[in-house]
C-alpha cells in the first residue's frame, strides 16, 4: 500500500496536521521524542497510509544521544520503506524555520529540516514541504521565498507550488497540502 510519511522537528504541528488529514484524534502536544514507533493512519478516501514519524532535532528534556537514536530510526524507517513511500512531508513551523536554519548554518551544522529534505530526495521519496502556522506569519510570500532559498529551491515559491504547501493546521486549513498529495497520488496511479 502507498504510504505518506510526515517528518519534522517537535512542536511544528505534525500531530495537528495528521489529525486534520485523517480525522483521527491523535494526542497533540505530547512529550516530544517519546513515541519511537511510527504511528500509522489510513486516509480512507484515497486509500493510502500516513506514518507520523517521531520528532527529531531539538527536544527539551531529551538527551542528545537519544535524539540521535530517534533520528537514526526515522532515517532507517524511510530507507527500508522508500519503495512504497509515495511522498515525504517535511512539516515546518513557518514562523521559526528560517531563523533556526540560519542559526544552525552559522554554527557550521546542517540544519535538520534541510538534511531531511535532501535525504528524502536522495532515497527517491519526493519531498513536500508543509509550511505550517501561517497564521503567525506577516509577509507570507516573503517567508515562503526565504524557505525555498534555504532548501535550494529557486524562488519565487509559486514555482514550487507542487512541493511547497502553506497551511494553518490549527484552523483546519490544509488545502494546499491535500492538493500536493492528490497530485502525487494521481502521478502514482
Ligand atoms: P508536533 O509535536 O509536531 O506533533 O506538534 P503538535 O501538533 O503537537 O502542535 C504543537 C503546537 O503547535 C500545539 O500547541 C498546536 O496547537 C500548535 N499548532 C499546530 N498547528 C498550528 C497552526 O497552524 N498555527 C498555530 N499558531 N499553532 C499551531
- Ordered DSSP codes for 14-27: HHHHHHHHH---PP
pLDDT category of residue 35 using cuts at 50, 70 and 90: very low
pLDDT category of residue 43 using cuts at 50, 70 and 90: low
**Nearest CA owner, ligand 1 atom 8:** 29
What ipTM, to 2 d.p.?
A: 0.99
**Ranges of each domain in the chain:** 3-26+36-188
Segment 26-42 shows an average pLDDT of 52
Residue with cell 519565487: 156
Q: Label each residue of 151-184 as H, E or C.
A: HCCCCCHHHHCCCEEECEHHHCECHHHHHHHHHH
- Does the pLDDT at position 8 exceed 50? yes
Answer whether 156 contacts ligand 1 (Cβ < 6 A). no
The CATH label, of 3.40.50.300, 3.30.1230.10, 2.170.190.11, 3.40.50.970, for the domain at 3-26+36-188 is 3.40.50.300
Answer whether 90 contacts ligand 1 (Cβ < 6 A). no
Which atom of ligand 1 is closest in space to residue 32's alpha carbon? 2
pLDDT score, position 26:
57
CA 100/CA 114 separation, integer angstroms:
11
Reference 59, options 17, 31, 29, 18; nearest CA is 31
pLDDT score, position 33:
45
Answer whether 55 contacts ligand 1 (Cβ < 6 A). yes
Pocket test for ligand 1, best of 20, 26, 28, 53 (most atoms within 8 A of CB): 28
Ligand 1 centre and the CA of 47: distance in Å?
Answer: 26
Ligand 1 centre and the CA of 51: distance in Å?
Answer: 17
- Ordered DSSP codes for 120-158: HHHTT--EEEEEE-GGG-SSHHHHHHHHHHHHTPPSPGG
Q: Which of 27-31, 40-44, 120-124 has the highest mean predicted lDDT (pLDDT)?
A: 120-124
pLDDT score, position 38:
58
Ligand 1 centre and the CA of 170: distance in Å?
Answer: 7
Residue 74 buriedness (CB in 10 A; 0-12 / 13-18 / 19+): buried
pLDDT score, position 28:
47
Answer whether 132 contacts ligand 1 (Cβ < 6 A). yes
Residue with cell 527500508: 80
pLDDT category of residue 47 using cuts at 50, 70 and 90: low
Answer whether 13 contacts ligand 1 (Cβ < 6 A). yes
Answer whether 54 contacts ligand 1 (Cβ < 6 A). no
Lowest mean pLDDT among 56-70, 122-136, 147-161: 56-70
pLDDT category of residue 151 using cuts at 50, 70 and 90: very high
- For residues 82 and 176, the model is more confident at 176
- Does the pLDDT at position 3 exceed 90? no
pLDDT score, position 30:
47
Average pLDDT, the chain: 84
pLDDT score, position 34:
44
Which cell numbers in the block locate residue 40?
500509522
Amino acid at each position: 500500500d502507498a504510504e505518506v510519511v510526515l517528518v519534522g522537528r517537535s512542536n511544528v504541528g505534525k500531530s495537528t496536521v495528521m489529525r486534520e488529514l485523517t480525522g483521527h484524534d491523535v494526542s497533540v502536544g505530547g512529550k516530544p521524542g517519546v513515541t519511537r514507533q511510527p504511528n500509522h493512519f489510513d486516509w480512507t478516501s484515497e486509500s493510502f497510509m500516513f506514518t507520523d514519524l517521531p520528532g527529531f532535532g531539538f527536544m527539551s528534556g531529551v538527551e542528545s544521544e537519544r535524539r540521535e537514536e530517534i533520528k537514526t530510526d526515522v532515517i532507517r524507517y524511510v530507507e527500508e520503506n522508500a519503495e512504497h513511500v509515495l511522498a515525504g512531508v517535511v512539516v515546518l513551523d513557518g514562523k521559526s524555520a528560517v531563523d533556526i536554519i540560519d542559526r544552525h548554518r552559522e554554527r557550521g551544522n546542517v540544519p535538520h529540516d534541510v538534511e531531511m529534505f535532501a535525504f528524502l530526495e536522495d532515497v527517491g521519496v519526493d519531498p513536500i514541504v508543509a509550511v505550517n502556522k501561517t497564521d503567525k506569519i506577516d509577509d507570507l510570500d516573503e517567508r515562503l521565498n526565504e524557505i525555498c532559498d534555504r532548501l535550494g529551491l529557486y524562488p519565487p515559491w509559486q514555482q514550487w507550488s507542487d512541493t511547497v504547501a502553506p497551511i494553518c493546521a490549527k484552523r483546519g486549513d490544509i488545502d494546499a497540502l491535500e492538493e500536493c498529495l492528490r497530485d502525487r497520488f494521481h502521478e502514482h496511479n
